[in-house]
Amino acid sequence: MSILDDGVIAHDDVIERAERWIADDVDDADRADLRALLAKTQDPRLRDIAFAELRDRFSGLLEFGTAGLRGVMAAGPHRMNRAVVITAAAGLGAYLTSELEEARPRVVVGYDARHRSERFAHDTAAVLTAAGADVSLLPAALPTPVLAFAVRHLDADAGVMVTASHNPAADNGYKVYLGGRVVGDAGQGAQIVPPYDTRIAAEISRFASAEGGASAVPRADAGWTVLGSEIHEAYLKRVAALRDPDLRIRDAHAPHLPPPTLGQTALKIVDEPGTQPLRIVTTALHGVGGRTLARVLADAGFTDVIPVEEQLEPDPGFPTVRFPNPEEPGALDLALSIASDVRADVVIANDPDADRCAVAVLDPDWGTYQGAETARSHGWRMLTGDEVGALLGWDVARRTQEGTLACSVVSSRLLGRIAERHGLRHATTLTGFKWIARTPGLVFGYEEALGYCVDPEAVRDKDGLSAALQVALLAERLKESGSSLLGALDDIARTYGLFTTGQLAARFDDVARIGDAMSRLRGAPPASLDGSLVTRVQDLSEGADGLPPTDGLLLLAADDTRVIVRPSGTEPKVKCYLEVTTPVAGTTGAQELGRLRVAAQRRLERLRQELSGALGL
């Protein structure tokens, strides 16, 4: 291998690597993709760009870690493609075989509706079957929670979900769950954590570096089982039982009516003012959750559900959103506009693989007469993940006698207050549901990035569909009592204090700059936060409060303001998690609470400006 003084792969060497990859690749389109890129190296106008792209594609294997695999779809070892998926499946199969010795591994495979997801899933089934595994393949593009449910429901030793979740359309990914006979503790059925990831990665590397690469990996032509609708129906029945544990669906295989059309519901608004049940606007953001969420809500008795029809059916191009992530600005604009038009009670959104759930409500304190008239100017806003986590955690705590409420270290500290008041245990974990789901005695877990686990016995992962139902059930009960989700948040603030959270997220084109930003902050952390003296600086890479080491920095000020800065585990971002607290008297009125929230938001904005400067953004 030829490496230049600056660490860059030499032109001749990267060409040789590309040609060797073409010889070993298993996909005609990927081979053609690389040949086209190599041809551009002969064009003086495109040469530098083409070599930069080639060097990146051949900079190493796409990293397999606790998030599995995730990356842009293209040919080369540092991209998502069939060759990478095949060697990943081979590595997983070898790991399972070594762990189970003489036993035949049981694996269930699922996929979403992104480009190439179905192909990647079938390659995975073919490789694992050839490796001796008993493989079950979900019958269609389905939500990630259905796969996570299937791992435990089928007592599988492993599960694979082909999805890039909320990443841009060009990406795809590969999540791995372990259970059955491989993991027997509270992590059974959860996504992988160390040391499982490093052991599987070592096996993947062995196959990727072997002579012939992916083309040498055996693949069966048949032998796996394509499941029918029974797993999806079992999942739906389990979720429906969250409304009433004794609820029985009359006929799980009976045809269900589609959700009402916008036109039908709009007519009802005029005909029956003031007599409506809970009115819900939903959006799947072009993902796989739309029809399943419609079933979940219908089976639980919700009849006034209005989908954003432009985003209801799966579309891997995500044509109406820039990023298919409910957290991204503009992602919910269509849903909020419809909600404003039809006077909905709540908006519920899932990300493309439906493991996350976003909630929006009409908040008069957020309304403004400035600028263009929109749903947002009227006061429609998305609740933060911490607000939804507090609502669901509070609801669970009131109905639970024992157990543990858990959240990630970057989530609000409010859940801990709620658990303490109700005599429940509270656990703080590293970021990610692979950690939250492993909490012993878990009855509810969440992370601020719109992930909620409301039924850990069935799904050891975040589940945006069962969470959506729990939000709808809570909103329904509150409406029947003359309150609302916002009213419940006011009650929570009066009881526990006002915890207000926000983020500063910076996206980097050059991943190397992320390390530079973190080093800059570690070397010169701010002495104060919004005028309050910093009393604690904790480098999370050294471990803190009993947590394993993780890349991040925690700052705590004398007035209880907290900031945590860490690189994103799934995107080229640095994220700053901000939290300010405000004492609230038990008799504080709604109008005064609105003013306190506005003041807290101003504090968060000042923190964003300070942290932006400290990170050199």
Residues designated catalytic: 165
Which residue matches tokens 């911490």? 386
Closest alpha carbon to 408 in 421, 395, 391, 426: 426
User: Residues near 255 by Cβ (< 8 Å), separated by ≥ 6?
Assistant: none
Look up tokens 């005695």; give the residue.
Answer: 441
What is the distance in angstroms between the CA of the first residue and the CA of the last residue of the chain? 36
Cα pseudo-dihedral 391, 396, 399, 403, rounded to 10: -150
Q: How far apart are CA 237 and CA 250, in angstroms?
A: 10
Q: How many CB atoms lie within 10 A of CB 602?
A: 12
Six token digits for residue 104? 């035949």
The sign one gets for the Cα dihedral 324, 328, 331, 336 is positive
What tokens does 477 get?
Answer: 């009960």
Structure tokens at 222: 């048949």
Q: Assess contact for 323 and 332: CB atoms under 8 A.
A: no
Exposed/middle/buried for residue 209 (C-beta within 10 Å: 0-12, 13-18, 19+):
exposed
Distance (Å) of CA 175 to CA 85, 87, 232, 263, 323:
11, 14, 19, 39, 20
| Three-point CA angle 482, 483, 486, nearest 5° | 160
Backbone angles phi, psi at 309, to 5 degrees: -65, -30
Q: Identify whether the C-beta of residue 565 lies closer than 8 Å to the C-beta of residue 611.
A: yes
* CB 576, CB 611: distance < 8 Å: yes
* Residue 36: C-alpha distances to residues 130, 212, 431, 478 (Å): 33, 22, 40, 59
